[in-house]
Amino acid sequence: MAMIVADRVTKTYPSGGDLLTVLEDIDLEVEARDFVAIVGPSGSGKTTLLGLLAGLDRPSSGTVTLDGVRLDSIDEDARARLRAEKVGFVFQTFQLLPTLTAVENVRVPLELAPGETAPDAELEARANDLLARVGLADRADHYPVQLSGGEQQRVSLARAFAHEPTVLFADEPTGNLDRQTGAGVVELLRELNEEARTTLVLVTHDPELAALADRVIRLESGRLVRA
Ligand SMILES: Nc1ncnc2c1ncn2[C@@H]1O[C@H](COP(=O)(O)OP(=O)(O)OP(=O)(O)O)[C@@H](O)[C@H]1O
Ligand SMILES: [Mg+2]
């Protein structure tokens, strides 16, 4: 069964009395455990599409089905629960909580995950292990403002992995990283896809990352074109 189905998804925004069409008639199916890379020029709608597929935002028309659930058939609370249970998201702008340290940020999805009953010390150990895997063992107690852009990005990745999501969406996850750190993140994503069998949908400009994908799809001016 397809993990993600987008059926004629369109997104418009009001623009000076007119409508700006940001995505038009997107049809897309992503099978469970697939690794899909989305590429395309700036402003082509990549971030918007990722947000719609993850249920963070709603299409103007058309439908998105995630793991068999039509997202428009459930209310926002149910969508939030579905995300907490199944979805990891790495934002282009990281979106770390500024009042929490790195390790506390990574713990957030563990604490929100439905049915999570592990003792506190175990959650702490898991969060620290994830930080170590993105090379930030020595930054666990730093607040986001004390971290560089690339470090914040890696905390954001560790947070997205924390509850072992069924589907991981990541918006340019290696965009701010130097080659070596980026390669580490690519390796982590590959492991997640192969070992944890996570479905991956990534926006990327990174040819090394796109090369690992089972499929590359290309957006141009809000429309899907063959890559
Ligand atoms: N809330 C909004 N209101 C109006 N227009 C928006 C809104 N969000 C996005 N857009 C427009 O939608 C288009 C697509 O934006 P999006 O962020 O999806 O592009 P992108 O492909 O991710 O670009 P980039 O590579 O620069 O991140 C842009 O023209 C943007 O200005
Ligand atoms: Mg974007």
Rounded (5°) CA angle 20-206-93? 55
Task: Measure the CA–CA gap between 117 and 7, rounded to whole angstroms.
Answer: 37
Check pocket membership of 43 for ligand 1, CB cut-off 6 A. yes
Check pocket membership of 13 for ligand 1, CB cut-off 6 A. yes
Residue nearest to atom 26 of ligand 1 (CA): 42
- Biggest CA-to-CA distance, the chain: 55
Residue nearest to atom 8 of ligand 1 (CA): 48
- Residue range 46-70, pLDDT digits in tens: 999 999 999 999 999 999 999 999 9
Ligand 1 atom with the smallest distance to the CA of 49 is 18
Residue nearest to atom 2 of ligand 1 (CA): 13
Ordered alpha helix ranges (H), the chain: 46-53, 76-86, 102-112, 120-133, 149-161, 179-194, 207-212
CATH number, span 33-44+73-216+221-225: 3.40.50.300
Ligand 1 geometric centre to CA of 227 (Å): 20
Ligand 1 geometric centre to CA of 47 (Å): 7
Check pocket membership of 204 for ligand 1, CB cut-off 6 A. no
Task: Measure the CA–CA gap between 169 and 199, rounded to whole angstroms.
Answer: 9
Check pocket membership of 11 for ligand 1, CB cut-off 6 A. no
Three-state secondary-structure class, residue 70: strand
Ligand 2 geometric centre to CA of 125 (Å): 33
CA dihedral (70, 79, 89, 106) positive or negative? negative
Over its length of 227 residues, how does the chain's per-residue pLDDT go in tens digits? 799 999 999 999 999 889 999 999 999 999 999 999 999 999 999 999 999 999 999 999 999 999 999 999 999 999 999 999 999 999 888 899 999 999 999 999 888 887 778 888 888 999 999 999 888 999 999 999 999 988 999 999 999 988 889 999 999 998 888 888 888 888 888 888 888 889 999 999 888 889 989 999 999 999 999 76
Check pocket membership of 199 for ligand 1, CB cut-off 6 A. no
| Calculated CA dihedral for residues 78, 124, 198, 83, nearest 10 degrees | 10
pLDDT value at residue 69: 96
